[in-house]
Amino acid sequence: MPTVPTTSSTSTNSIFDELESQVRSYCRNWPAVFTTAQGSTLQAEDGRSYLDFFSGAGALNYGHNHPALLEALVDYLRSGGIVHSLDMHTTAKRDFLTAFRERILAPRNLDHKVMFPGPTGTNSVESALKLARKVTGRQHILSFTNAFHGMTLGSLSVTGNSMKRNGAGLPLTNSSKIPYDDYFSGAIEDFLWLERVLGDSGSGVDKPAAIIVESVQGEGGLSAARPEWLRALSELCRAHGILLIVDDVQAGCGRTGDFFSFEEAGIVPDIICLSKSLSGYGLPLALTLIRPELDQWEPGEHNGTFRGHNPAFVTGTVALERFWSDDAFSTRVKQRSAELHDGLAAIAAGYDGAVVKGRGLLTGIKFPDDSAATKVAAAAYRRGLLVETSGPEDEVLKTMPALTISPDELRSGIEIIAAATQEVLGVPSAPADTPGPQRTEPRGEDDDT
Ligand SMILES: Cc1ncc(COP(=O)(O)O)c(C=O)c1O
């Protein structure tokens, strides 16, 4: 019999290297072993603490272990509440759906049906693509340069990144890429090619079932579509009978200030994908919103064991009631967003060619040297800040703090980024106009959140 190493023969840290697949990634940049977390601060087992400008890749919009969500979750579990139920009726699901209608759909005049497609963002995208094809009877899907929609085959087929696409190991078919907003830096009129080929029966371009778009490209380099570009896209889809899918998996749930990232543009997508921060607690939960007339599924036609995770419904309901009952939270997120933008702009101003990208609390800096962002993120980590990179060459330093972050914590993180940038790129040409008072220790979230 082979001898299986046990913890007594394996150092506690090397188990990750020995046993975990090569596919692991975040832990390579942040090798700390994390133990606990609260709000925007994580603790590691070596006693260090880290300020979080990463937020679980957008799954922790309300910070780690929000006390109100924790309390509801523990109460629910202790009460013997149902944990797993496929798509059976539960009180937890009823409460969530009721809150979602009252707090999110109704105030925005949305009459979409809610589908639970499985627990992750890519599950939602797959369901959206499948439904669009079923309803229209067409196969082709258009998506955008530098889009990211997930790692399963359908989602990969509409994703741009060549490294991720190559991982598919087979041809990714039935989709084409079209230029995202400003892809040609304004040199070509928006949608010129698309309008022309859709109106030309000799173009040889099959009419697509749907166009899928992110309002802000979270993984693809933080390009943010202008509201007028989104409106033009929406009108073009309507005019040609093409369904518009907005993938709000990363930019939704308040990340840009409004609950949905497309609200600013005033458009109503046919299908909307949501996941990441829907549970508010990092528990997996996704949903797909479908305009009622498109809800043409046969019962069970799209299925899955983990649709509707009741603990996630419980925390999700509390998050909706607590943060989205009125405009106060959204207003605060927009204030924090302006502070973040100003802080990053002050840093970028010190380095020729550096620009701020993104929108809301999904904002970063693109440096002219593509390798700089990775080095700045590493230097920030050494100084106690978790911040990642984005873009096909990891060329954008991507900040995504919790929406509940306090002004002091936000300022601390920006100061760490300024110091890390200086360590990597040297003293700024113009002194960075460091925002606000001196650095203070990270503290908990605002009391009023
Ligand atoms: C816009 C977007 N869509 C889909 C996904 C896939 O979500 P998941 O990783 O939960 O499958 C992501 C993940 O980052 C995303 O950013």
Give tens-digit pLDDT for 368-387. Answer: 999 999 999 999 999 999 99
Give tens-digit pLDDT for 8-36. Answer: 444 566 999 999 999 999 999 999 999 99
Res 308: pLDDT = 87
In a domain, 377, yes or no: no
- Ligand 1 atom closest to Cα of 251? 1
Give tens-digit pLDDT for 207-250. Answer: 999 999 999 999 999 999 999 999 999 999 999 999 999 999 99
**Cα separation, 57 vs 253, whole angstroms:** 13
Q: Provide the angle, in degrees to the nearest 10, between the axes of the packed helices 328-348 and 407-425.
A: 20
Determine the distance separating the centroid of ligand 1 and the alpha carbon of 256, expressed in angstroms: 16
Domains in the chain, number: 1
Is ligand 1 within 6 A of the CB of residue 120?
Answer: yes
Helix (H) or strand (E) holding 314: helix 310-323
Determine the distance separating the centroid of ligand 1 and the alpha carbon of 22, expressed in angstroms: 21
In a mutational test of the pocket of ligand 1, which residue from 126, 144, 149 has the highest number of ligand atoms less than 8 Å from its CB? 149
In a domain, 135, yes or no: yes
74: left (phi over 0), alpha (psi -120 to 50) or beta: alpha
Give tens-digit pLDDT for 283-302. Answer: 999 999 999 999 999 999 99
Q: Which of 277, 425, 235 is nearest to 361 (CA)?
A: 277
The gap between the terminal CA atoms of the chain, to the nearest Å, is: 56
pTM of the model: 0.94
In a domain, 187, yes or no: yes
Determine the distance separating the centroid of ligand 1 and the alpha carbon of 105, expressed in angstroms: 22
**Cα separation, 237 vs 293, whole angstroms:** 16
Q: Which residues of the chain have pLDDT under 50?
A: 1-10, 436-448
CA torsion, ordered 306, 311, 317, 318, to nearest 10 deg: -150
**Cα separation, 422 vs 376, whole angstroms:** 9
Q: For residue 361, give both structure tokens.
A: 């609390």
In a domain, 345, yes or no: no
In a domain, 247, yes or no: yes
- Ligand 1 atom closest to Cα of 214? 1
- Ligand 1 atom closest to Cα of 125? 4
**Cα separation, 162 vs 315, whole angstroms:** 36
Strand 49-52 to 385-386 pairing: parallel
Q: For residue 262, give both structure tokens.
A: 């497309």
- Ligand 1 atom closest to Cα of 275? 10
Res 12: pLDDT = 65
Strand partners of residue 247: 273
Is ligand 1 within 6 A of the CB of residue 250?
Answer: yes
In a domain, 32, yes or no: no
The CATH code of the domain that includes 264 is 3.40.640.10
Range of the domain at 318: 71-323
Residue 113 neighbours by CB under 8 Å, 6+ apart: 289, 290, 291, 292, 295
In a domain, 234, yes or no: yes
Res 345: pLDDT = 98
In a domain, 170, yes or no: yes
